[in-house]
């Protein structure tokens, strides 16, 4: 069912990764350790841990729920983006993890007796996330000059969300817009969490922009979303703006539930609801 092939990392490769300072994250499920490394510290729109979570959903749809109930380890420090995604689709994490080599790593995990541990390289799954074609529609001639015109366009986009079989979530009709300072429509995105649980509309919108433009979202850009951003999306937006206090996040419909209260955007008073 999945088209992403993963290979195994050798013990020597693991030793070498652990000796370097570059970001890594891993999670153990039974006798497999799903491993992601090789991101640069300057990479936008992902940490090693968020990339690992997105990759697990991309490659192991059937098992992802079980894998991500386990503790994730990363050598990176706390960051809002990691914490936000963990709260919505993960469970536990240890930041600032360090081990000198594979033997120390296994003993820290209490695995010293287990001979057969497989280190599964998630790099190709991560490449699949990076290359995933995300639904984005452009209407170049329609500047978004009011919340009302944003609302109309969001409604139109929501109606165009392809109806697909739900793998994880029931399909929810959520769309998002990125609008420039003069009302110019920069990009659009819709919720695709039936394909990969991490692909909420706002994540699609932000990652599309960062990975195409290779810059953070500039000041005075606005984000319109049909529903209130959850903790994962709020954190992604927050960490992806050059100066979030100079951006506006406007949503139309409130969402109840623990994933959508007390987000980083709420805590910093950076999003607001407009009742349509």
Residues that bind Zn ion (CB under 5 A): 200, 230, 232-233
Between 14 and 88, name the residue whose CB sits nearer to Zn ion: 88
What is the smallest separation between the CB atom of 221 and Zn ion, expressed in angstroms?
19
220 SS3 class: coil
CA distance 141 to 153: 12
What is the smallest separation between the CB atom of 227 and Zn ion, expressed in angstroms?
8
User: Distance of CA 228 to CAs 73, 207, 249, 260, 262, Å?
Assistant: 29, 18, 9, 7, 11
What is the smallest separation between the CB atom of 271 and Zn ion, expressed in angstroms?
12
What is the smallest separation between the CB atom of 240 and Zn ion, expressed in angstroms?
13
Between 230 and 249, name the residue whose CB sits nearer to Zn ion: 230
CA distance 176 to 135: 11
CA distance 9 to 28: 14
What is the smallest separation between the CB atom of 61 and Zn ion, expressed in angstroms?
19
CA distance 80 to 153: 30
Between 28 and 200, name the residue whose CB sits nearer to Zn ion: 200
What is the smallest separation between the CB atom of 264 and Zn ion, expressed in angstroms?
12
Question: What number of other Cβ atoms are within 10 A of residue 130's Cβ?
Answer: 15
Joined tokens for residue 124: 């190709």
Joined tokens for residue 82: 């990691």
What is the smallest separation between the CB atom of 201 and Zn ion, expressed in angstroms?
7
Between 38 and 171, name the residue whose CB sits nearer to Zn ion: 171
Joined tokens for residue 125: 């799954």
Q: Which residues pair with 163 in a beta bridge?
A: none
Question: What number of other Cβ atoms are within 10 A of residue 100's Cβ?
Answer: 10
Between 120 and 129, name the residue whose CB sits nearer to Zn ion: 129
119 SS3 class: strand
Angle of CA points 97, 103, 108, to nearest 5°: 40
Between 56 and 233, name the residue whose CB sits nearer to Zn ion: 233
In 3D space, the residue among 61, 68, 55 whose CA is nearest the CA of residue 121 turns out to be 55
Between 119 and 238, name the residue whose CB sits nearer to Zn ion: 238
């Amino acid at each position: 069912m999945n088209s992403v092939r993963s290979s195994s990392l050798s013990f020597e490769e693991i030793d070498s990764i652990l000796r370097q300072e570059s970001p890594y994250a891993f999670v153990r499920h039974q006798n497999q350790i799903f491993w992601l490394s090789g991101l640069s510290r300057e990479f936008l729109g992902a940490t090693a841990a968020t990339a690992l979570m997105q990759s697990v959903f991309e490659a192991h749809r059937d098992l992802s729920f079980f894998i991500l109930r386990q503790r994730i380890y990363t050598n990176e420090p706390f960051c809002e983006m990691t914490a936000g995604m963990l709260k919505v689709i993960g469970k536990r994490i240890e930041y600032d993890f360090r081990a000198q080599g594979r033997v120390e790593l296994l003993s820290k995990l209490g695995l010293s007796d287990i001979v057969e541990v497989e280190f599964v390289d998630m790099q190709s799954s991560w490449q699949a996330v990076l290359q995933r074609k995300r639904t984005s529609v452009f209407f170049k001639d329609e500047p978004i000059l009011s919340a009302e015109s944003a609302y109309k366009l969001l409604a139109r986009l929501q109606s165009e969300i392809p109806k697909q079989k739900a793998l994880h979530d029931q399909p929810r009709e959520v769309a998002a817009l990125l609008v420039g300072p003069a009302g110019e429509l920069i990009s659009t995105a819709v919720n695709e969490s039936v394909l990969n649980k991490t692909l909420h509309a706002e994540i699609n919108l932000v990652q599309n922009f960062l990975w195409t433009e290779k810059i953070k979202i500039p000041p005075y850009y606005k984000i319109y979303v049909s529903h209130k951003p959850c903790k994962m999306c709020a954190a992604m937006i927050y960490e992806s703006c050059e100066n979030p206090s100079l951006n506006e996040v406007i949503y139309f419909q409130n969402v109840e539930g623990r994933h959508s209260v007390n987000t980083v955007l709420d805590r910093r008073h950076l999003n607001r609801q407009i009742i349509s």
